[in-house]
Amino acid sequence: MALLSNLFANFFMVFLVLAFVAIVLLLEGLYLFWNTYKSPEAKKIERRLHSLAAGATGSDETPILKQRLLSAAPALQRLMFGIPRLRQLDQLLQQSGLKISVARLLFLALCLAIVSYGLALLLHFPAVIALALAVAAAAAPFLYVQRRRAERMLRLERQLPDALDLICRALRAGHAFGTGLQMVGEEMTEPIAGEFRITHEEVNFGVSLQQALLNMAARIPSTDLRYFVIAVLIQRDSGGNLTEVLSNLSVLIRERFKLLEKVRVLSSEGKLSAWILSILPFAVAGVINIVNPHFMQVLWVDDIGLKMVGMALLMMLLGIIWMRQIIRIHV
């Protein structure tokens, strides 16, 4: 009996030791998994690789990351890869600088459409108007992404002359062109610093300088930046004074922005008038419909009212297009 008790005690001690070792190994495995996929360093590397992948131009060179993730769910990822034009939407998100996936953007648009449709029905709007409001609400996230993209591209273009001057000073000091790219990525602010940093890291990862510059031009749809890329590529093929070319390009971009600012000031009054004239009819109709729904009901109950609404919308659309053509001055 004593021997059996000793054996049981020894077995129990061995079990406790093995359980302790198993728990320690489990915690170590969980920590290594988190450190590999979920740590700040891993997320930073993943964002950098996604940025490098988004700039691919379809060349024969093997990209670092073949496909940028459109969704965190693998099944949804495979489904979205089969839908056309989602790649363009993903590139649009990349250019806007927003840290959101295509799947989340589409889900947000769907939720806004459903909520807007439900609120419109609660406020006694007709089904056609409710559907139109739902479509407008669904389009709102995409319009916001477009606006953020335009603002980011404008900031980048305004920073480009300073970046070119910094590269020129680096070349005059005897540094290589790649060092100039690195200096822009380290010393300037976002968003241009991140784009030049990605280009410099692509070169360090083994991508040719020509392909890295073409990738940057694909990521940034800016005419001025493409002039910079073309100037560098031509100089590498035919030779010449790259410092003088970049300096003249910097002066040209600054003068163009001065002209654009003058045009923007002259057309600002017309833009404000166009916004007021476009929004005011819908705002007044919405307020009247909330205060007295029966007063506005004739516009979508009676046949003549429907024809009047259709004609008014058509004339407003033509007026918006006409005002847009007047205030848009191409430079």
Q: What average pLDDT does this structure show over 82-90? A: 71
More confident residue, 72 or 164: 164
pLDDT for res 111: 92
Token pair listed for 168: 């020129």
314 belongs to a structural domain = yes
pLDDT for res 160: 92
On average, the pLDDT of the chain sits at 79
Q: What average pLDDT does this structure show over 81-107? A: 78
Q: Could you tell me if 248 and 274 lie in one domain?
A: no
The count of C-alpha atoms lying within 13 angstroms of the C-alpha of 136, restricted to the half-sphere facing its C-beta, is: 10
64 belongs to a structural domain = no
Alpha carbons 209 and 203: distance in angstroms, whole number: 6
Q: Could you tell me if 192 and 215 lie in one domain?
A: yes
Q: Could you tell me if 193 and 251 lie in one domain?
A: yes
* Residue 91 binned pLDDT confidence (cut-offs 50, 70, 90): confident
Listed residue (96, 65, 98, 102) closest to 83, CA to CA: 102
228 belongs to a structural domain = yes
* Full-model pTM: 0.61
204 belongs to a structural domain = yes
The set of residues, in sequence order, having a beta carbon less than 8 Å from that of 251 and lying 6+ positions away, is: 161
First to last CA, the chain: 101
pLDDT for res 168: 92
Q: 90-94, 213-217, 271-275, 326-330: lowest mean pLDDT where?
A: 326-330
Report whether pLDDT(52) > 60.
no
pLDDT for res 66: 41
pLDDT digits (tens, 9 = 90+) for 7-44: 656 666 666 667 766 786 777 777 777 666 666 666 66
Residue finishing a domain among 258, 281, 298: 258
pLDDT for res 220: 87
Q: Could you tell me if 254 and 277 lie in one domain?
A: no
Q: Could you tell me if 167 and 246 lie in one domain?
A: yes
More confident residue, 15 or 55: 15
The answer to whether 90 and 54 are in contact (CB under 8 A) is yes
**Domain extent for 164:** 156-258
**Using N-to-C axis directions, what is the helix angle for 209-219 and 192-204, rounded to 10°?**
150
Alpha carbons 95 and 285: distance in angstroms, whole number: 37
Q: Residue 162 maps to which CATH number?
A: 1.20.81
Token pair listed for 42: 């891993």
More confident residue, 305 or 73: 305
Report whether pLDDT(103) > 90.
no
pLDDT for res 75: 57
Amino acid of residue 243: T
78: left (phi over 0), alpha (psi -120 to 50) or beta: alpha
Q: Could you tell me if 182 and 210 lie in one domain?
A: yes
Q: Could you tell me if 237 and 279 lie in one domain?
A: no
pLDDT digits (tens, 9 = 90+) for 240-262: 788 888 899 899 888 888 888 88
pLDDT for res 96: 84
Q: Could you tell me if 232 and 290 lie in one domain?
A: no
pLDDT for res 11: 61
Residue finishing a domain among 242, 258, 274: 258
Residue finishing a domain among 258, 282, 312: 258
Q: Could you tell me if 231 and 281 lie in one domain?
A: no
pLDDT for res 167: 92
307 belongs to a structural domain = yes
The answer to whether 223 and 244 are in contact (CB under 8 A) is no
239: left (phi over 0), alpha (psi -120 to 50) or beta: left
27 belongs to a structural domain = no
Q: Could you tell me if 223 and 194 lie in one domain?
A: yes
Q: Could you tell me if 168 and 240 lie in one domain?
A: yes
247 belongs to a structural domain = yes
**Burial letters for 258-281: b for 16+ Cβ neighbours within 10 Å, e otherwise?**
eeeeeeeeeeeeeeeebeeeeeee
- Please state the φ and ψ torsions of residue 241, each to the nearest 5 degrees: -90, 100
- Report the C-alpha dihedral over residues 99, 101, 105, 108, rounded to 10 degrees: -90
Q: Could you tell me if 225 and 298 lie in one domain?
A: no
Report whether pLDDT(137) > 80.
yes
User: What is the count of structural domains for the chain?
Assistant: 2
Listed residue (252, 246, 243, 194) closest to 219, CA to CA: 194
Report whether pLDDT(99) > 90.
no
Alpha carbons 159 and 164: distance in angstroms, whole number: 9
35 belongs to a structural domain = no
Listed residue (139, 117, 119) closest to 128, CA to CA: 117
